[in-house]
Structure 1
Amino acid sequence: MTVLFAMILDGIFGEPKWLWSRIPHPAVIMGKAVGHIDTTYNTGENRKIKGTISFAALVIAALILGMIIAAIPGIWTDVILGAMLIAQRSLVEHVAAVGTGLRMSLQQGRRAVAIIVSRDTRDMTTSDVTRSAIESGSENFSDGVIAPIFWFAIGGLPALLVYKITNTADSMIGYKTPRHLQFGWAAARFDDLLNWVPARLTALLIWATDRQTPFAKIAADAKLHRSPNAGWPEAAMAYKQNVVLAGPRSYDGKLTLFPYVNEAGKHTLGPDDIAQTTQTLWAAWWMTLAIALFVAII
Structure 2
Amino acid sequence: MSHASLLALALLLDAALGEPRWLWSRVSHPAVLLGRAIGWADARFNEGSSRKAKGVATIAALTLAMLVLGKLLAAFGWLPEILLAAILLAQRSLVDHVRAVGDGLRLSLGEGRRAVSRIVSRDTEAMDADAVSRSAIESAAENLSDGVIAPAFWFLVAGLPGLLVYKAINTADSMIGYRTPRHEQFGWAAARFDDLLNWIPARLTALMIGATHNVLSDWPAIRTDARLHRSPNAGWPESAMARALGVAISGPRAYDGEMRDFPFVNATGRRNLGPDEIDAACTALWRTWAAALALTVLLALI
Structure 1 gaps of 5+ residues are none
> Deviation per CA, 1:193-219, whole angstroms, max 9, x where unpaired?
000000000001110111134212111
- Decide which moves more: 95-104 or 42-51: 42-51
Shift of 1:255: 1.1
Instruction: Give 3-state SS (helix, strand or coil) of 2:272's partner.
Output: coil
1:286 correspondence with 2:290: yes
Measured in 2, the distance between the counterparts of 1:82 and 1:89 equals 13
Identity %: 58
Shift of 1:109: 0.3
1:19 correspondence with 2:20: no
Measured in 2, the distance between the counterparts of 1:159 and 1:27 equals 15
- Within the candidate set 157, 166, 175, 1:154 is matched to 157
- Taking only aligned residues, the RMSD between alpha carbons, in angstroms, comes to 0.7
Instruction: Give 3-state SS (helix, strand or coil) of 1:250's partner.
Output: strand
Shift of 1:80: 0.2
Give the aligned partner of residue 68 of structure 1.
72
Give the aligned partner of residue 38 of structure 1.
42
Give the aligned partner of residue 243 of structure 1.
247
- Runs of 4+ aligned residues of structure 1 deviating over 4 Å after TM superposition are none
Query: What amino acid sits opposite 2:48 in the alignment?
Result: G
Give the aligned partner of residue 193 of structure 2.
190
Query: What amino acid sits opposite 2:187 in the alignment?
Result: G
Instruction: Give 3-state SS (helix, strand or coil) of 2:259's partner.
Output: strand
1:47 correspondence with 2:51: yes
Measured in 2, the distance between the counterparts of 1:186 and 1:88 equals 27
Q: How many residues align?
A: 297
Structure 2 gaps of 5+ residues are none
Give the aligned partner of residue 86 of structure 2.
83
TM-score, normalising length: structure 1: 0.98
Measured in 2, the distance between the counterparts of 1:148 and 1:30 equals 15
> Deviation per CA, 1:104-126, whole angstroms, max 9, x where unpaired?
00000000000000000000000
Shift of 1:247: 1.4
Task: Give 1:1-298 correspondences, 5 Å limit.
Answer: 1-72=5-76, 74-212=77-215, 213-298=217-302
> Deviation per CA, 1:134-177, whole angstroms, max 9, x where unpaired?
00010000000000000001000000000000000000000111
Query: What amino acid sits opposite 1:256 in the alignment?
Result: R
TM-score, normalising length: structure 2: 0.97
> Deviation per CA, 1:66-111, whole angstroms, max 9, x where unpaired?
0111111x31110000000000000000000000000000000000
